[in-house]
Amino acid sequence: MSKKGNKFTNILRDQSQLIILILLIVIFSITTPSFRTTGNFVNLLKQITVIGVISCGMTIVVITGCLDLSVGSVFSLLNVVSISFQQSNNFLGIFIPLIMAVVIGFLNGFVITKFKVNSIIATLGSLSFYAGAALLYTNGAIIAGVTGTWYGFIGRGKLLGIPIHVYIFFIIAIIYQILLNNTTLGRKIKYVGTNTTAAEIAGIRSNRIRTIAFIISSVSVAIAVLIYSSRMTTGSPVTGAGFEFDAITAVVIGGTSLAGGKGSIFKTIIGVLLLAVIINALTLYNVPYAFQNIVKGFLIIIAIIIDIRVRRRIEG
């Protein structure tokens, strides 16, 4: 039995998000003059780098069949830690958040895999824990950094008119995509997400793979913090609140399945761009900020409904 179907419709279905993105860009460009200025496009790209990097890390976790809701709080924590070192030792300001990220990712992964706990609930607990930790670190205040760190060029520099951090985002995305498609680790991640039992029987230690995925997610947050803190002079302990939902929205509407196994960084970038374009259009139409969450929540639900593989098996 061969269900190849029409090759064209297959491609259409597979790349539907890209097509929607292109369509939206075209529509908005035509209807809203302020949309199609270069300034707007560059602005758009600038906004997506932080969430974009976090979403790349989230993609890896989702492909293994889990979710990491702690990324927002971890961002808050690593951000204030990074900025707190701006005044003294810049190098530590990069190094320590990175180390912390590895430990945090490991802890998340360890608890979830060793005790076979639902990742959403476990990372919900982490979310509270690290959110409180961020507040504790700054004692609830906004801390001051300095202007002109040696790595400030990441946040503020430009190359050929495009900010450096946009390049960094794309480089990170490419690295992750290569990791996913062209390395044995990436292949193991896909196997674990597609069929954990079969992966175990094939000798893959799925617990280790999932833990690595969570570490990648937290490290992505650290990189995002680097991009962010490099252009900030103050740090708020609640900056990252809500980032986890932005990341999940981007991943899910980009087409990566919550059921695990299928997905790509490329799809997530499309998702990030889609989200950004929609939010951008809403802003240009003077839609209040509050409505953005409505749209995001709506998009999450729609994306889940469309993702057939998430559907429960029918009972009876």
Partner 1 sequence: MKAEKFRNFIIEQKILLIIVAIGIFLWISSDYFLTFQNITNIFQTISFEGMIVIGMAMLIIIGEIDLSVGSIMAFGAVLSVMFQSYGVFTGILAGITGGIVIGLMNGLITTKLKLPSIAVTLGTMVFLNGVVFALTKEHTIKGTNENFVLISQTELFRIPLPVIVFIILLIIFEIILQRSILGRHIFAIGGNATASKFFGLKVDMVRIICFTITGFLAGLAGVMLAGKLNIASGRIGGSTAVFVITAVLLGGISMEGGEGSIFKAFQGILLLGIMNNAMVIMKISSFIQEMIRGLLLILIVVIDAINIQKKRYL
Partner 2 sequence: MLLEIKKVIKTFPGTVALDEVDFNLKKGEIHAIVGENGAGKSTLMKILSGAYKKDSGTIKFEDKKVAIGNVDAARALGISMIYQELENIQKLSVAENVFLGKLPRSRVPGFVNFKKLMIETKKILKEFDIDIDPGRKLASLTTAEQQFIEIIKAITVKNARIIIMDEPTSSLTKKEVEKLFLIIKELKKKGISIIYISHRLDEVVGIADRISIFRDGKNQGVMEKSEFDTNKIVSLMIGRELKAAEKSVSKEKKIIFEIKRLSIRNKIIDFNMKLYKGEILGIVGLMGSGKDELVKSIVGLWPAQSKEIYFLGKRINIKHPADAIKHGIIYLPEERKLQSLFLDMSVSANISPLWLFNVENKFFMNTKKEIELTKTYAKRLAIRTPSVSTLIVYLSGGNQQKVIFSRMLTIKPKLMILNDPTRGIDVGSKEEIYNIIKELASKGVSIFILSSEIQEMTRVANRVIVLSKGEIRDEFSDKDITTKNLIRSAMRV
Q: Got the DSSP string for 20-50?
A: HHHHHHHHHHHH-GGGGSHHHHHHHHHHHHH
Q: Which stretch in 159-167, 185-193, 198-206, 286-294 sits in contact with partner 1 by CB under 8 A?
A: 286-294
Selected from 10, 205, 301, 309, the binder of partner 1 by CB under 8 A is 301
Q: What is the closest distance, in whole angstroms, from the C-beta atom of residue 275 to partner 1 in the complex?
A: 12
Cα 146–chain centre separation: 27
**What does 4 interact with, of partner 2, partner 1, none (CB < 5 to 8 A by kind)?**
partner 2
Q: Does 103 bind partner 1 (CB under 8 A)?
A: no
Q: What is the closest distance, in whole angstroms, from the C-beta atom of residue 113 to partner 1 in the complex?
A: 11
With vertex at residue 80, the alpha carbon angle to CA 79 and CA 84, rounded to the nearest 5 degrees, is 120
Q: Does 120 bind partner 1 (CB under 8 A)?
A: yes
Nearer CB in complex with partner 2: 39/203: 203
Selected from 78, 81, 133, 154, the binder of partner 1 by CB under 8 A is 133
**What does 33 interact with, of partner 1, partner 2, none (CB < 5 to 8 A by kind)?**
none
Selected from 190, 231, 267, 296, the binder of partner 2 by CB under 8 A is 190
Q: What is the closest distance, in whole angstroms, from the C-beta atom of residue 62 to partner 1 in the complex?
A: 11
Q: Does 7 bind partner 1 (CB under 8 A)?
A: no
Long-range contacts of 274-277, Cβ-Cβ distance < 8 Å, separation of 24 or more: 274/17, 274/20, 274/21, 274/24, 274/250, 275/48, 275/51, 275/246, 275/249, 275/250, 275/299, 276/44, 276/47, 276/48, 277/21, 277/24, 277/25, 277/28, 277/44
